[in-house]
Amino acid sequence: MSIAFLEIDLGAATRVGLVDIVDIASAGADASDGWWVEYSTDNSSWTQFADKFDLLGSETFTRRASLAPGEDVTARYWRLVADDALSGRTIAVDAVQMWQESEELSAARGFGFSYSTETDYAMVLTDRAIEVYDAGVHVGSVYSPYTSAQVAEVTRAQSLDTLLQFHEDVEPWRVFRQGDGSEWDSRAQSFDNVPQIRFSDATYTNGTNEKQEVLLLKMTSGTDRFNLKYGGKVSASITYDGDNSTTAGNIEAALEGIEDVGSGNVSVSRTATNTFTVEFINDLGQQPIALMSYQFLGPGDGDEIIDVSRVVDGGSGGEPIMSAARGWPSCGTFYQSRLALAGFKGRKATLAFSVLSDFFDLDLELEGSDGGLLLPIDNDQMKAIRQVNPGNHFQIFTDDGEFWISDRVIAKGQIPNFALGPERGIWPGLDVAQADDNNFYVPADGKSVRAFVFEEASQRYRALNASRLSAHLIASPTGWATIRRDSSEGADRVFLANADGSAAVYTLATAEDFAAWVPWGTQGGEFVDFIAEGGRTLYAIVERTVDGQTGLRLEIYDPAALYDAHVAVSEDDPVSEVSGLDHLEGETVELWLDGRPYGSAAVASGAVALPVAASEIEVGLNVAWRAETMDLVMDVGGTTRGSKSRVHSVHLLLEDTGSIAVGANGEEPREILLRSTADAFKPLGDILYTGPVEIDGLMGYARENSVVITQTIRSPATVRAFTMEGRTV
């Protein structure tokens, strides 16, 4: 049984794929799976829409009920429903928003969300939505304020359950996990004590005049004298003429006589017994003023008392550094128990650090080292901060230069040292990637990948070119992700997507002195971005046209798969058809049946007919891998680049390999025999070869010579080592 606590009539049957329930509030204990959304076409028979949600009794929260991307229902009547165990409980809802997908393809970017080694998600940011995946399964959706045009420029920072997103035209947005992968609160993040600054295009009258009190005790009227010091300059002698306005006038006249004060810029009045208040006005108004000092001139009898204290801090006025009118920070990160905000739309070269251990309080007036900080980059040229990174130092990447704060600790009262690094800038919209204990970034020209490395000898950062020999593989990147090595013998890999839909993979094992780039591709698709879930599972956002319809697909990389975009089936009894191939509609796919290749077949109505019944089946696109050496250069008493040469021997070390083909000297690769005649009729999958292969007697010559290793028959293959021998003409 259930109880409807909010009913909605849309007036007509309407297609709906997403429902946002904004600011739900209910006093009482938490209730697991306590409420959900239902729809009806006749206002009589009701169907649950999406998953149930927990009802939180201690706080206000927002939820999005959603089907998987591309799915929706059409209905006129909708309602919010609670479990009947909550009968009598008041549930308040601020708003309900319903969405439907349009035909227009959205921009998309991906990123990982990691709370712990056991709790990881892959997230895809699109127009007004973040789709959440766990181990390849869509588990939830979260409202996002960003339009498709803004998606590529959104940056983010995460700490435990909190994800903050930044864009200079949108208020910082917080996504907060409140349960499993379907329970996310989404809202604008407010800040306390936002610093006020003065923008050059506005005039401000909201400042505060500085007020300081001068206390005069046990002084003799008409004889005792003193002076005041302002800005290092001393006033004329001031005569104490009693606890009255005359003494106030004497103080005012003496201060106006100081060159840096001037006439009409102070007002002095008696405000309490023997207390005279100095207010700085006009040219000295609405700004901080250093505390004045004093000197007693005598004659006196030794017990006179003079003191100066501040009663009102002078403030220059202005307006918040971030607001709907002035824009918002474009990036941020968590660092040393503070939140750092940077790249403000109205102050692009400025950093703001929160109060220590209070991420959303920017109080600059808080005394002590824990207070907030507002720091412009100390540089001769204006820089626009695009990314900040919490590395060994606090690292700052701008549109045309890189900086770091050399101080190990960020603290109020300690002037930070901004050190200028390589002046290359960073490519917009792309974060800093970590791989094998190195930080990598793409410079502002979008044509290379560089490692941001600190050199102990020079105590400076350098931008080492990590793609020097593979610059052709880097072309205006749109996204990247790092997959961590899964053992001490593996290597980290960075997967990078380019604006033209191509991709490249950077394999890095620094301790083994190994680094290599290779191109990566997928048949019939263009890469948009990559996502690393927990640093172990790789997703690719791919734009594909299937059956005449172009769309975005989230695909998981399976290194054990033989084919691209594959479907694997394991049946107890042999079957003659494989379905579930809607994503390959109209494509010609390769067939791997019971351990051997069986040619190809066309996908129709999401299925293929098999030439023979089989139990262990894999179907997909045949994208053959290909490894090719650089042009052969031999040193035989002098470089022979450009001369004719012959590779006559190639030696391979293979592991669990079903087939291999080798070509050299300009000849097409040919299949190498790995099995004996007795094994000829056994399935390839049952007799994978492990061991050395020596290919000798290769013929032919070529001027631009190389060796190609590939497969003509798709099967498992691992090449552990490779050497070649050759000679020149």
> What's 90's domain CATH number?
2.60.120.260
**What order do you get walking across the sheet with 92-99 strand by strand?**
61-66, 18-25, 92-99
**692, part of any domain:** yes
Number of domains making up the chain: 6
**172, part of any domain:** no
Residues 94 and 3 in one domain: yes
Looking up tokens 């002046």 gives 423
- Cα 636 from Cα 729, distance rounded (Å): 11
**51, part of any domain:** yes
**177, part of any domain:** no
Residues 615 and 642 in one domain: no
pLDDT digit string, tens, across residues 605-622:
999 999 999 999 999 988
Residues 4 and 85 in one domain: yes
- Cα 104 from Cα 106, distance rounded (Å): 6
- State residue 642's pLDDT score: 58
Phi–psi pair at 705, nearest 5 degrees: -100, 145
**401, part of any domain:** yes
- Cα 316 from Cα 289, distance rounded (Å): 10
Which of 621, 656, 691 is the endpoint of a domain? 621
Helix ranges (H only) for 318-473 are none
Angle, vertex CA 299, rays to CA 296 and CA 300, nearest 5 = 80
Residues 215 and 300 in one domain: yes
Walk along the chain (729 residues) in steps of 10 and give the mean pLDDT of each run.
90 97 91 95 96 90 94 97 89 95 94 89 97 94 97 96 97 95 95 94 92 96 96 95 95 96 96 96 92 94 94 91 97 97 96 97 93 85 89 93 91 89 91 93 96 92 93 96 80 95 94 90 91 92 87 91 91 94 89 89 94 94 87 61 80 92 91 70 69 90 87 88 85
Residues 221 and 300 in one domain: yes
The model's pTM is: 0.86
Angle, vertex CA 51, rays to CA 48 and CA 55, nearest 5 = 105
**234, part of any domain:** yes
Question: Could you tell me if 450 and 443 are in contact, meaning their C-beta atoms sit under 8 angstroms apart?
Answer: yes
The pair of three-digit structure tokens given for residue 550, joined into one six-digit string: 């172009």
Helix (H, G, I), strand (E, B) or coil at 245: helix
Residues 403 and 448 in one domain: no
- Cα 442 from Cα 495, distance rounded (Å): 13
- State residue 634's pLDDT score: 60
- Cα 417 from Cα 630, distance rounded (Å): 45
> Domain of 636?
626-728
Pairing of strands 689-696, 707-710: unpaired
Nearest C-alpha neighbor of 36 from the set 75, 86, 100, 94: 86
Residues 15 and 92 in one domain: yes
Which of 592, 621, 650 is the endpoint of a domain? 621
- State residue 334's pLDDT score: 97
At 75, the amino acid letter reads A
- Cα 569 from Cα 619, distance rounded (Å): 9
**124, part of any domain:** no
Residues 369 and 275 in one domain: no
649-688 burial, b if ≥16 CB within 10 A, otherwise e?
ebebebeebbbbbbbbbeeebeebebeeeeeeeebbbeeb
Residues 227 and 259 in one domain: yes
Residues 299 and 343 in one domain: no
DSSP 10-26: EEEEEEESEEEEEEEE-
Residues 630 and 724 in one domain: yes
**Cis status, amide bond into 443, omega within 30 of 0:** no
**323, part of any domain:** no
Which of 34, 69, 101 is the endpoint of a domain? 101
Residues 396 and 366 in one domain: yes
